[in-house]
Amino acid sequence: MARLKAESRDAAILLSPFFVFLAVFMIYPLIASFYFTLNDLALSDLKPVFIGIANYIELFSDKLFQQALLQTLAYLTFHTAVGVPFGLAIALLFNEEFRGRGFARACLLIPWATPPIVAAMLMYILLNAGFGPVIYGFEMVGLLPTQFTIFGNPNLALLGLAFVSLWKSSPLFAFIFLSGLQNLPSEVVESARVYGASSVAIFRRITFPFLKPVLAVNCILSGILALSGTQAFDIVIGITNGGPGYRTYMLYFLAWNQAFPWNRLGYGSTIAYVVTIIAVVFALVLLKIWYRRK
Amino acid sequence: MTDDISTGKMKNLSEQKGTDRRRFLKYGAGVVVVAAAAAAGYYALQPAPGPPTPTTTAATTLPPTTTAPPPVTTAAPITLNFYTTGHMGFMYDVGRLGWKPIERWNAAHPNIKVKTFIDSFFDVYTKEATTFAAGTYAWDVAYEWGGILNEFAHYWTPLDEMGITLDPKVVDDIVPYARNAVFWKGHYYGLPRMLEIFTLMANADILDAKGVKFPTTYEEFLQACEKVNDPKNGVYAFEVGLKQGYLFPPYLCFLHGNGGSLWKDDAQQTVVPDSKESIRAVEDMVHLFKNYMPPSAIEKIAFVEASTDWYNGQMVFGLFYGWPTMVVTDPTSKIKRVYNWLWPGKKGVVRSGSQVACEGYGIPKTAKYKKEAWDFIQYLASREVQVQDTLGMFWKQENEEPIPSFWSYLTDDRFKAYPYNIIVRAQLAALKYKANRYERPAYMSYIPAIEAEVSNALTGAKKPADAMKDARESCDKILEKEYSTYGGGYYDPWPDMQKYASRIDDLINAIPVEDQYKFPF
């Protein structure tokens, strides 16, 4: 009994940093930011004025919030519907034996390993209408008009950001798919081949069903990245700063703007909470679909 | 646990695990409670912001011109944390001419080591706001400008709280526009360190080759644009960055060039981006963008990202602070001569209108060494430092240096050599006209609201009148909250500036310049 007590104490001591970390960096901010959502609060005076759910009600009449919400959902849909299949395609390609595969896989990591704001600046430079070599290259071969602008065009800017995000996220999705493919029993695939199954049939009947759990993980990850991850903030602030107009404002970017530059910490926290709720709902829906099918 | 398994007590393991888990959680929760109590105790025991640092300074005059700051000794070595911006390398010892203000200070003050912290201008506001709100010590001297001082004034130390009163001669010597950086509701919070004002620059060789005179009205400017615009050969008549984030300053030039003002003179100082002058200003911007500017301008920040086009001779006119004029001192540049003078206003409305940037340094409330901080601020505001700062100007971003913020420094003999003199003259001349930046508490909210709508007009997403009407709607919401919190009464430097009109004339006339660079005031 005494030893058990001693072991419990030791465990508690060993676990305490985790508990402290959890309390200070997760639980406290969650509670504090929820408290902020119920108050009119600014960084400039830090005197909260309790206003109940007024911040939440304001969301319904805030045109910018509604625009940002729609843009975020469009961004999320594109990010998931295009990014995840693209990651799967890369994974299937890199799962094949070919010369230099190790090197190619290492290169694949580069976009993901690049810090998000650096990736944003890199893409801003590469795709800039004035000095971007990629745009210039397309202009040289006559595929684009002179000084073609992606990020300055209200109809293209959000799509441009989504492609940048895709460039950054797809390798991660691919690696997660690859880890799934590595666990695919080779004898099953070989047996199918022996019985004359085509590659498409093998993919449809064996590979894809096997990858479904990984697919669910990737979809959830994609959603969270697009909603509240680095893709939703760094890429926006690094490339368009929300413009032109408000065309690339997304919820996370709007939450940050409200809380800090616009000095409305309470309202910014409210938007951040809405982002969190959407992310949780998105994950739950995906999981539900997945478990129902299972 | 190993003993239990080895002695065959496996069946109790799960029960023990359950017990242990509960105990872990209990102990863990205990640790969290203790840590939280300790943290709460720590903050409770933190002393309230200290009393004003005692000082015997009744009135302050700026240090005389010296090549190094006067040596000072203090009892014990201290580190003075200095927070400044990245766009002026001079202030962190990487100036073009190698004149190092911080190194000089440190050499003259063996017991006060200045440690510099640098951030991009675009990050300063958020960094200062969050640091101030956290209430922790970070800096003794920090970058200050009207946009943040107005909103966060109670986090800064007013000089009178330190027993410091500025000598009236010093106050009179500060250019009123520059005062805006350090002055809020009757109190000074520091000293200005610089001043910059937008002027029109032109590639003189192209203008002369085409027989085009430097324009003195906006109408002449448009005619000149028509004559020099040559996009087929990659030369555009005009360029300035139109990307959101620094779109507000050029907008103000167009606004003032139409005789407009962003504020009404009412109690709330209502922001009126939908005034007829403002709508005309945006229409002018759209017209210029569609006809005489490169399409890529919409993706570029300010002049910085357009400066390569300037250097390569791919633009004829540019609207910005004076430093791109220095491109002529770069032997690799394709621009050999630059005209620099007033941004022209509409004929019959106003001769010119510009926008001004001014910055200073102040002392945060949480500073540890306020007296030493004040000494350092006076050093940074001294003639020698400000003149050297201007002399270090170059056309590249890291040497984006300004002109001095004190009238008496502006005619320093060292500015007489070309091209400094045309830059100083042009900026002085522009000071005769309205160049307000309208800094006020909610400044950082007004700017994106207006910029987004100007951008909507530029990209054709909205008509200028509709866009600026929407901007007004956004501004009205901001105004309501701002007025209820701050109560109006924001400093407008323009009336004070007009008192100095004859002094400006005298100063301009005191700066020699070749005839080819002389233009009507």
**Contacting B residues, span 254-313, partner chain A, CB-CB under 8 Å:** 294-300, 305-306, 308-309
The residue whose two tokens read 């107005």 is B150
A2 part of a folded domain? no
What pLDDT sits at residue B6? 39
What pLDDT sits at residue B51? 37
Domain ranges of chain B: 78-195+359-422, 199-354+440-490
Residue A126 neighbours by CB distance under 10 Å: 15
Sign of CA dihedral B234, B240, B242, B244: positive
Burial B97-135 (b: 16+ CB within 10 A, else e): eebbbbebbbeebeebebeeebbebbebbbbbbebbbee
- Average pLDDT for A198-220: 90
Separation of alpha carbons B309 and B297, rounded Å = 11
Q: What is the CATH number of the domain that holds A67?
A: 1.10.3720.10
Separation of alpha carbons B435 and B443, rounded Å = 16
Q: Which residue of A has its CA nearest to B152?
A: A44
CA distance B416 to chain A (A): 36
- Band of the pLDDT at A289, cuts 50, 70, 90? confident
Which of B129, B300, B459 comes nearest A43 by C-beta?
Answer: B129
Q: Which residue of B has its CA nearest to A20?
A: B32
* pTM (2 d.p.): 0.88
* Beta strands across the sheet bearing B356-362: B112-119, B78-85, B141-144, B356-362, B190-197
What pLDDT sits at residue A294? 58
Long-range interactions of A66-70: CB distance < 8 A, separation 24+: A67/A246, A67/A249, A68/A246, A68/A249, A68/A250, A68/A251, A68/A253, A68/A254, A69/A251, A69/A274
Mutation site, A43, A63, A136, A256, interface B, largest B CB count within 10 A: A43
CA distance B42 to chain A (A): 15
3-state secondary structure of B142: strand
Q: Are the folds of B78-195+359-422 and B199-354+440-490 the same? A: yes
Is the CB of A129 less than 8 angstroms away from the CB of B16? no
pLDDT digits (tens, 9 = 90+) for A117-167: 999 999 999 999 988 999 999 999 999 988 899 999 999 999 999 999 999
Domain total in chain A: 1
Look at residue A201 and tell me whether its pLDDT is greater than 50.
Answer: yes
B452 CB neighbours in chain A (<8 A) are 242-243, 245-246
- The DSSP 8-state label assigned to residue B294 in this structure reads -
The Cα angle at residue B246 between residues B241 and B252, in degrees rounded to 5: 95
Is the CB of A23 less than 8 angstroms away from the CB of B441? no
What pLDDT sits at residue B401? 87
What pLDDT sits at residue B460? 96
Distances in Å between the alpha carbon of B302 and those of A261, B247, B250, B453?
A: 19, 7, 8, 17
A29 part of a folded domain? no
Least confident window among A9-13, A230-234, A257-261, B68-72: B68-72
- Average pLDDT for A39-56: 93
> What CATH number does the domain located at B78-195+359-422 have?
3.40.190.10
A14 part of a folded domain? no
3-state secondary structure of B338: strand
**What is the residue range of A222's domain?**
52-293
A36 part of a folded domain? no
Separation of alpha carbons A106 and A100, rounded Å = 10
CA distance A63 to chain B (A): 10
- Asked if the C-beta of A10 comes within 8 angstroms of chain B's C-beta atoms, the answer is no
What pLDDT sits at residue B48? 43
A278 part of a folded domain? yes
Mean pLDDT by 10 residues, chain B (521 residues): 40 48 55 56 46 43 52 75 93 92 96 95 92 95 95 96 95 94 96 95 97 97 98 95 95 98 95 98 98 95 88 96 94 96 97 96 97 97 95 86 93 89 95 95 96 97 98 97 93 94 92 91 84
- Asked if the C-beta of A23 comes within 8 angstroms of chain B's C-beta atoms, the answer is yes
Is the CB of A15 less than 8 angstroms away from the CB of B125? no
What pLDDT sits at residue A226? 87
3-state secondary structure of B144: strand
Q: What is the 3-class SS of B366-398, one letter each residue?
A: CCCCHHHHHHHHHHHCCHHHHHHHHHCCCCCCC
B31 CB neighbours in chain A (<8 A) are 12, 16, 19-20
- Average pLDDT for A246-255: 95
Q: Which residue type occupies B349? A: V
Residue A209, preceding peptide bond in cis (omega within 30° of 0)? no
Task: Tell me if the domain spanning B199-354+440-490 has CATH number 3.20.20.150.
Answer: no
Q: Which residue type occupies B121? A: F
Q: Which residue of A has its CA nearest to B456?
A: A245
